[in-house]
Amino acid sequence: MTGHRSFCGSMALHAAARILAPLLTVLLLLSPLLGINGQVVQSNTPGNITGTMTSLELAELLFYLTYADPQGEKIYRVIFCSGVSLDIIPIATPITLKYDKIVDGIMYACSVPVRLSDQQQQQLGRRRLQQQLGGSITTPLQPRILFYIPTFCGYDAPAAVTPERVLDLVFTGKWTWRNRWLAAYFDFCSYGQVEILPSNVKVLSAPEVPCSGTIPNPQPYNDGGVFTSSSCERYDSMTKWHYWLDAWAIKTYGVNASDYHHRVMILPSGFSGTVAGCGGFAGRATAGRVSLIRTPVNNWGSGHVWWSGNNVGDLEILFHEIAHNYAMAHANVVGGCNTNDQCDHTCIMGGTGGQGIRCFNAPHNWQVGWASKPVRELGDSDLPYGNPTAVRIPAQMNGLNTSVLVKGGGMPTNRKLFLSVRLNVYSYDLPWQFWDDNVPFLLMHTYDGTDGNPYSTTVFVGEIRVGTIWRDNKSNISVRFDSWSKDSGAAVRICRRSSGEERECADGLDEDCNFLTDIEDLNCRAGASSETKAGEAVVVGSGRPTSPSRGPVSRRTPPPRPLLKQSPPSPRPPSPPSPRPPRKLAPPRKPSPPRKPSPPRKPSPPRPPPRGLGRR
């Protein structure tokens, strides 16, 4: 009987094994894909994954995919094949990615992510994430900011700043250059719509980041969460320092980092210029949100920011990096400059310009909804050929409806041309030096961003003064700045060209859009051609050149300027430049007897020194 029982039991075990073996095999195959408790994910099987892409620019452009998992929010580093254009990767919007393999927790893909439609997001039960361009405000109205001030193993330097100084930078400006502070800066540039409150800011003196470590579980990375303090890029350490500090903050102080929209790490002075893979940055940030976790006080998500201790005190750098979290790309000019793609002196998303502090340009204001309703929107039907359309444009800082948006006119499908009027407005919007105070400039910018891919560079294509014309030879649009009134704004005419010269002299049209109709035009009076050579843009009359002749050059980080005061003296007023002395005229020649000498010409007025560009 005992032998019979043993035989029956053995048969039952064999039967159970035959049933369970396939299930166990499936579980073993699937378990690496889950990345549970720091396990490194491996898979040679292609697949599809849905999530949201963000990027971080170091020596190379890094991409991260954040997605929802049963164990919580997870992150893959994504490496694209060389044939994939990185410029068209959708950022800060839900996508589906077809990947080829996963090696050591890093995902490899040779296809471009596909943006999810609104319907697909609803079917998946997802909250709409992409921006509605030109709609309501897409940024937090009361930003919550968490500051970490750590030191690093292997880097012998103290913390860059004290918590008291950070709070001063945000709320009082007692120790800042010209007594400016971040909360007032946000309030000014957002037209009073965005408010940073003391209760929404936390500053923590953080511990030393270890030479090597692992983010405590639960942690989001599928490569195991290992990091080093000796490199920004290796193991994707720069992003992981944030998560390691998040774990420390919740354990030590009960501070939940997910409650904050922006997590700002202030690095020790010299760190970003010394440690491998950092590249000497003044500031860096994730493009878009790296985390989409919602809490009772944060229904938006979180982005990461890194701020060099060398540049603590430069509020424009911090504002610039926070704006990257809002899916704002850089502000450039045609052809670039020595700051690569940050060459627009009129926008905070450009490099240094003017007096070193500015608000957004018109397309970036429109992108995030801070000034989302242009005073006029014009298309081809509003711009008949050769018949200029007159518009009034208020100064940009005068209100929410202050730009003109133009579509069509021979521009690419998604391109939008923004016309805006800017002046120096103290103390936070100063795109020009003080000698240009009270001078209105008509600015032209283009922006190709869409609801599905808002992270697109704005391009500064023109700047003119009263009485001058801007002509874009890559489209058929011309603009004239006719006059300016402090009360009613700029009188501007916009014209769509049908020809490079005036061809009909009695049809009442201005075919070449030089704002001279029929007999007024030189073509009709003298037969001369007014057609210009092909180019990016032409300014007719005096005005700022918009397209530098320089070719692309490598990014450089210039040395920082002094930012924090060592003691609390009164802010230094800017000293006016010494004007260039008038040019001396040679004495008039002795005239020939039959002719009277001409009187000498008056000397030219002194010129101001040229404006400069370039910072980060």
At residue 126, the pLDDT reads 52
pTM of the model: 0.82
Strand pairing class (283-285; 303-308): antiparallel
Residue 102 forms part of a structural domain: yes
Domain match, 322 and 444 both: no
- 543 membership: H or E segment, kind and range: strand 543-544
Q: Is the pLDDT of residue 535 over 90?
A: no
Residues 615, 353: Cα–Cα separation, whole Å: 9
Q: Residue 365: how many CB atoms within 10 A of its CB? A: 24
Average of per-residue pLDDT values in the chain: 84
Q: Is the pLDDT of residue 319 over 80?
A: yes
Which of the listed ranges 31-35, 97-101, 500-504 does the model predict with the highest average pLDDT? 97-101
Q: Widest CA span of the chain, in angstroms?
A: 148
Q: Is the pLDDT of residue 246 over 60?
A: yes
Domain match, 432 and 379 both: yes
At residue 562, the pLDDT reads 39
Last residue of a domain, one of 303, 327, 351: 327
pLDDT in tens, 449-484: 998 899 999 999 999 999 999 999 889 999 999 999
- pLDDT bin (cut points 50, 70, 90) of residue 613 is very low
Last residue of a domain, one of 268, 303, 327: 327
Domain match, 517 and 377 both: yes
Domain match, 210 and 115 both: no
CB–CB of 596/588 below 8 Å? no
What is the CA 187 to chain-centroid distance, rounded? 19
Domain match, 528 and 389 both: yes
The two structure tokens encoding residue 460? 């500064």
Percent of the chain whose pLDDT exceeds 90 = 70
Show Cβ contacts of residue 287 under 8 Å, excluding neighbours closer than 6 positions.
54, 55, 56, 57, 91, 92, 324, 325, 327, 329, 455
Structural domain containing residue 181? 145-327
Residue 476 forms part of a structural domain: yes
Show Cβ contacts of residue 386 under 8 Å, excluding neighbours closer than 6 positions.
495, 496, 497, 498, 509, 510, 511, 513
Q: Is the pLDDT of residue 403 over 50?
A: yes
Domain match, 220 and 314 both: yes
- pLDDT bin (cut points 50, 70, 90) of residue 140 is very high
Residues 121, 129: Cα–Cα separation, whole Å: 9
Residues 260, 145: Cα–Cα separation, whole Å: 5
Domain match, 110 and 161 both: no
CB–CB of 604/583 below 8 Å? yes
Q: Is the pLDDT of residue 9 over 80?
A: no
At residue 595, the pLDDT reads 42
pLDDT higher for 386 or 351? 386
pLDDT in tens, 336-376: 888 789 999 999 999 888 999 999 999 999 999 999 889 99
pLDDT higher for 268 or 21? 268
- 540 membership: H or E segment, kind and range: strand 538-540
- pLDDT bin (cut points 50, 70, 90) of residue 542 is very low
CATH number at residue 72: 2.40.50
At residue 132, the pLDDT reads 76
Q: Residue 49: how many CB atoms within 10 A of its CB? A: 19
Last residue of a domain, one of 92, 123, 154: 123
> Averaged over 274-286, what is the pLDDT?
97
Domain match, 471 and 430 both: yes
> Averaged over 527-549, what is the pLDDT?
46
> Averaged over 399-410, what is the pLDDT?
96
pLDDT higher for 359 or 566? 359
pLDDT higher for 37 or 182? 182
Residue 487 forms part of a structural domain: yes
At residue 118, the pLDDT reads 64
Q: Is the pLDDT of residue 550 over 60?
A: no
At residue 352, the pLDDT reads 80
CATH number at residue 195: 3.40.390
At residue 209, the pLDDT reads 99
At residue 401, the pLDDT reads 94
CB–CB of 521/505 below 8 Å? yes
> Averaged over 561-568, what is the pLDDT?
44
Residues 417, 406: Cα–Cα separation, whole Å: 5
Total structural domains within the chain: 3
Q: Is the pLDDT of residue 489 over 70?
A: yes
pLDDT higher for 269 or 8? 269
At residue 559, the pLDDT reads 39
Q: Is the pLDDT of residue 261 over 50?
A: yes
- 120 membership: H or E segment, kind and range: helix 118-123
- pLDDT bin (cut points 50, 70, 90) of residue 525 is confident
Residue 465 forms part of a structural domain: yes
What is the CA 104 to chain-centroid distance, rounded? 32
CB–CB of 530/499 below 8 Å? no
At residue 11, the pLDDT reads 43
What is the CA 89 to chain-centroid distance, rounded? 15
Residue with tokens 């210039």: 558
The two structure tokens encoding residue 225? 């969460």
At residue 324, the pLDDT reads 98
